[in-house]
Each structure stands twice: as C-alpha cells, then as structure tokens.
Amino acid sequence: MAAAGLLLLGGCSSAEQESIKRLAQPVGVTDRTAGIHHLWMGAWLAAILVGILVWGLIGYCSIKFRRRHDDEVPVQTRYNLPIEILYTVAPLIMVLVLFYFTVTEQNKILPTASKTPDHVVTVVGQQWSWTFNYDKDPALDGHTTVYDVGTTALEPTLWLPIGKSVELKLRSPDVIHSFWVPAFLMKMDVIPGRDNHFSFTPTRLGTYDGHCAELCGTYHARMLFNVKIVSESDYANHLKALQRQGNIGPALGGSEVNQQNGLVNKVQDNGQ
C-alpha cells in the first residue's frame, strides 16, 4: 500500500505532493495555524482508523455470513442490549474526543496575543464587499485611520506586516457575513451588533485569497478579497498612499464603498 502511495505521489508536481501530504489543507501563514493543522491531521487520522474498523467489520460480516448452499438464514439478533449500548456509546466517545481537541485548540487560537497589539484593523463586511480600516496605525502617525475598500467588481486587499501582532475587529452594518482566509486555517462570523475579533501574527510573506463564507445575499459570491503579507516598510508605504488618496476613515458603514476612487456602485447608477 505504501508502494502504491509512493507511485501515486510520483505522478504529481511537488506542489501537489505537498498539498496531498497536508490532506489538501493550505499552508498556514500565521502563528496560530500550526495547532489547527495538527487538529486537521488528527481528525483525519481518527476518521481513517474508524473507517478501517467499520469497513473491516462490514467485510468480515459479509464473508462470514454470506448466503450458503444450504440457504439457511443465520441467527437474527435483535434487541441485544450490550450491542445497542456499544453503538450508542462508541459514537458518543468519538464525538467527545473530537470536541475536546477542538475546544482545546480553539482556546489556544482565540486569546489576544497582548493587551496592545502592534496593529488593529477593523474589518467591515458589507453587502457585498469589504472595508479594512487601519485603526490609528503607528506605522502612519498613530492617530489617523485610513482604509482600503472594495466593490463587487473590485476586490479589496487587506495589507498586513509580517512578524507583528495584529488584531482584527469584525463588524457588519447589515447582515451576517463570515471572514474567511483559507491560509489562516480558520474563519469567523461578522455579525451586526456583535464585537467579534481575533488576533495573530503573520509569519509568511505572500498574497492569499479571502472569501465571505456566509450566504449574505445576491452578490455573496463576489465578496472576495486578498490578504497581502508584506514587510513593515511596504506596509507603512501602503498606509501613506491611502492617506494621500484621501481614504481617511474610519469607514464603518459600508457606504464609502460607493465613493472609492470615483467608482460608483451600479445599484446607485440604476437609481435603485
């Protein structure tokens, strides 16, 4: 089986091989992702072991109790209490074990790194794009908030500096959205009236894609964005560029989306 596996891997590119080894999970890009990856691999391992056991039992039963020449019906066991208890308790144990590891991991991921993160970004999910407010960022002047914003036609980009702690505050002015960057290996709902937030430190340079993961209306599928993890100097330069462009916030209501760079939202164009 190992040889067959190797043969199968041999036919793939190195990127695909890496992906297969991670069981299709993207490479994590924050200081919180290693534990999530272990949880993912552990859950698969548990599922495979249970699968092998169940398939084994199915195979064993279908051979042992297959139809024979004598056509005799095997003993039919009904209302067997020990067996009933076994297949009630066994799944319960499985769920409890998975639940335990999930909650333990969640408790490690969610606490803020420190009381004063290096950068705070207020993420607004609005129908149907995103606004990223860099709150009074020390990389700028420490008291001006600037923002990036997108439209359904133009994906916005969230810029983050590598190696610095970041807190994302998630806000929605309309309906429930969900902030999902697959490379963060987690997502969190953006709920009107609720102050959801999470912290992390980006650990890998690059551009990663993001989505809204909660069906939020007609153009839900267009709520795409990018995350760019860059050097501290590139981050500071980007914030300065936003300031020069006049993207001075905070922009929390989602209405700024219609004024960005002279872009006018189609809905407004149509007078709707």
CA distances from 145 to 156, 162, 183 (A): 17, 20, 26
Tokens read off for 7: 């043969």
Distance CA 268, CA 17 (A): 48
Closest contact distance (angstroms) between CB of 123 and Cu ion is 12
Residue 219 DSSP label = T
Size of the site for Cu ion (CB under 5 A): 4
212-231 positions binding Cu ion, by CB under 5 A:
212, 216, 223
Closest contact distance (angstroms) between CB of 239 and Cu ion is 25
Contact assessment for residue 247 and residue 149, using Cβ atoms and an 8 Å cutoff = yes
- The verdict on 124 binding Cu ion (CB under 5 A) reads no
Distance CA 28, CA 26 (A): 6
- The verdict on 160 binding Cu ion (CB under 5 A) reads no
Closer residue to Cu ion in complex, CB, 127/145: 127
Question: Pick from 177, 179, 239, 260: which binds Cu ion (CB under 5 A)?
Answer: 177
Closest contact distance (angstroms) between CB of 54 and Cu ion is 38
Closest contact distance (angstroms) between CB of 9 and Cu ion is 37
Closer residue to Cu ion in complex, CB, 151/165: 151
Contact assessment for residue 235 and residue 133, using Cβ atoms and an 8 Å cutoff = no
Residue 185 DSSP label = T
Contact assessment for residue 147 and residue 131, using Cβ atoms and an 8 Å cutoff = yes
55-74 positions binding Cu ion, by CB under 5 A:
none
Binding site for Cu ion (CB under 5 A): 177, 212, 216, 223
